[in-house]
Chain A
Amino acid sequence: MSQSGATVSQECITAFNELKLNKKYKYIIYKLSDDFKEIVVEEASDDKEWDSFREKLINATTKNKNSQGATGKGPRYAIYDFEYSLASGDGIRNKITFLAWSPDDAGIQPKMIYASSKEALKRSLTGIAVELQANDSDDIEYDSILKTVSKGLAA
């Protein structure tokens, strides 16, 4: 269980398995429900365009309890199925990557909730190859992430 006590809804695992086993999705974005009690799927998509995925994270919002429900920048969790060919020409690799997105300019409370609940989601999803933390838009440039994910072996 996570340190915050938040739980993971079944749909999170179902969507992940669809991605992992059936390649139905390219990425899944998870968020905490509005009462911050449960992690749910915000979006699962087969859109292969990294930039639209990136935009979605950058524009993600969340409610902030302390400022009377005003919305501000919000953290998210995401699963992205990286596919790349090796520079050595040895074929194609897939790496299912877990991304914890917590923009520095999000409110302290949502950041805290996401950070302390991450463990719950990560443990429920089996088969994650790489895990990353990202805190500003520079951290989620495709090239730099791919380099980390592939340990520099991608073409």
Chain B
Amino acid sequence: MAQQPLSSAVPPTDIYGGDEVSALVLDPGYCSTRAGWAGEDVPKSILPSFYGHIGSTNTNLFGDEYLIPREGLEVRNYMNRDSVVEDWDVAPKFWENMLVKRLQPERPTAPGKNGLNDDPKKDGEGDVSMDGATAEAAAEAQEEQEQEKALQENPLLVTEAPWNTSKAREKTTEVIMETWGCPAFWLSRTPTLSAFAAGKATALVIDIGGSNTNVTAVHDGMVLKRSIQRSPVGGLWLSSQIRSMFEHAEPKVALTPTYLIENKTPVDALAPAQARLRKFPFQIADSFRRYEEERVLTEFKESVVEVWRGNPGPYRAQGTEDFIKTQPGRVFEMPDGYNQMWREQRYRASEGMFDESVGYPLPEAERITKEQTIPSLIRAALEAVDVDLRPNLLGNVVVTGATSLINGFNDRLNNELIGMYPGVKIKIHAAGLTSERRFGAWVGGSILSSLGTFHQMWISRKEYEENGPGIVEKRCK
């Protein structure tokens, strides 16, 4: 049946019934926080969850552009390493900075409403109903024209780790409804969204993130709580491996972040760096230096590190290292100009994700056990679910998270799974687009919340007011 093209002049009439829902999606993580409009392919705003704090004036600076050498600047993070919000004073401000300041153009009308990033103050009633543009206004007649809040026109979907605490969920709900005045909201667990985005309602989701790796079974769109396995084997752990690798290299490799380099002269491979360091008339905080080092390491991970695929033999087997030494390596130039070829080391650094006995020595606190390697996580997750479900999960493995983009990761994972479950059909699904892998959960949330039908799912303001923040435990399971 041919449909008449809709005239674009006619706004959707039901509440959020149209496909233009002006909904926002927020996906907070330890390493970065993603925010954007529902229905878009990639989040419009991506900020490091690290932020600058200046103690003397007690100000917080959000965004990469503020993370520069500066007197008294300390780098902090509002999340903890478990990807649960830790600092509830900063988190709402951080999010608001993204959702309002970075996503929405400054509204030309009513300068009184433009204090977008401040505490919303009561500003007399009046021109709230702007013009026909906000069709919701009519349908939401019961919503009094109360004080202007930051996000009164935008339903908001927030993602959360599957182990998020109920306290944190209620807190999030309060911020959304009380502080921002959103008309409706929803909380979604990241594995469900990643599975949906891969077209699967049932899947074993392996999310290799920045501070965490988790393996979770999702069945019919529900996270199976018992199956959740997590470990610190993620991007930051890999950084520690590389730090240790630099430490143990011959000659030792100095990790000098870019901001310290004033100028450098090219040098031959393995020759000492010829660089003049920049001097600052003030103290640079360790946390800032560490953050900057992490940038260099990220680049190293993206361009040099590779996962040993397992052919011709496992990495730990005798002769494998000698074999790799004969293979082409990769050159990396440090910010100070020092450069060298990396061969077997670039595999060894990542090998610990699969085999705890290989890898570079780490300080006690960062060492991992056999139970924390990815194969063990998968095994434990599967053992926690019904036997009948296991083949279905193994046939629908969804790999997501930026650290899974390391070269060779999926091949290795496939080989491991075939070795662990002989005779079972194993199929790994990993998005080809880098952005879908890095922002898998955000993309899932973006699509879900842009569906015309999703308007029945949102927890509305009315429902929230009748039930209080506890509603989230009942509805968002």
What is the interface of chain A, defined by CB distance below 8 A to chain B?
Answer: 1-7, 34-37, 65-66, 75, 100, 102, 104, 106, 108-119, 122, 132-133, 135, 139, 148
How far does the alpha carbon of A61 sit from the alpha carbon of B100 in the complex, in Å? 38
How far does the alpha carbon of A135 sit from the alpha carbon of B39 in the complex, in Å? 24
Complex A-B: 27 CB contacts under 8 Å: A1-B457, A3-B448, A5-B453, A5-B455, A7-B453, A35-B452, A36-B451, A37-B452, A65-B19, A66-B39, A66-B41, A104-B199, A104-B429, A106-B199, A108-B436, A111-B197, A112-B444, A113-B447, A113-B451, A114-B199, A115-B196, A115-B201, A119-B201, A119-B220, A133-B202, A135-B199, A135-B427
1/0 per residue, CB under 8 A from A, across B450-468: the answer is 0111111100000000000
Residue on B nearest A118 in the bound complex, by CB: B201
B206 at the interface (CB under 8 A from A): no
Q: In chain B, residues 380-407, which have Cβ atoms closer than 8 Å to a Cβ of chain A?
A: 391-392, 395-396
Q: Please, which residues of chain B bring their CB within 8 A of the CB of A117?
A: 453
Q: Please, which residues of chain A bring their CB within 8 A of the CB of B452?
A: 35-37
Beta-carbon contact of B3 and A34 below 8 Å: yes
Residue on B nearest A122 in the bound complex, by CB: B220
Beta-carbon contact of A116 and B201 below 8 Å: yes
How far does the alpha carbon of A102 sit from the alpha carbon of B41 in the complex, in Å? 20
State the Cβ distance, A15 to closest chain B Cβ, in Å: 19
Q: Please, which residues of chain B bring their CB within 8 A of the CB of A75?
A: 199
Beta-carbon contact of A102 and B199 below 8 Å: yes
Residue on B nearest A34 in the bound complex, by CB: B3
B195 at the interface (CB under 8 A from A): yes
How far does the alpha carbon of A112 sit from the alpha carbon of B41 in the complex, in Å? 13
Partner of A118, one of B197, B220, B429, B436: B220
State the Cβ distance, A39 to closest chain B Cβ, in Å: 10
How far does the alpha carbon of A139 sit from the alpha carbon of B221 in the complex, in Å? 21
Partner of A108, one of B19, B220, B443, B453: B443
Beta-carbon contact of B456 and A1 below 8 Å: yes
Partner of A115, one of B19, B39, B199: B199
How far does the alpha carbon of A83 sit from the alpha carbon of B192 in the complex, in Å? 34
Q: In chain B, residues 6-38, which have Cβ atoms closer than 8 Å to a Cβ of chain A?
A: 19
How far does the alpha carbon of A109 sit from the alpha carbon of B196 in the complex, in Å? 9
How far does the alpha carbon of A87 sit from the alpha carbon of B213 in the complex, in Å? 45
Partner of A3, one of B198, B427, B457: B457
State the Cβ distance, A118 to closest chain B Cβ, in Å: 5
Q: Please, which residues of chain B bring their CB within 8 A of the CB of A3?
A: 192, 196, 221, 448, 457
Q: In chain B, residues 30-66, which have Cβ atoms closer than 8 Å to a Cβ of chain A?
A: 39, 41
Beta-carbon contact of B436 and A115 below 8 Å: no
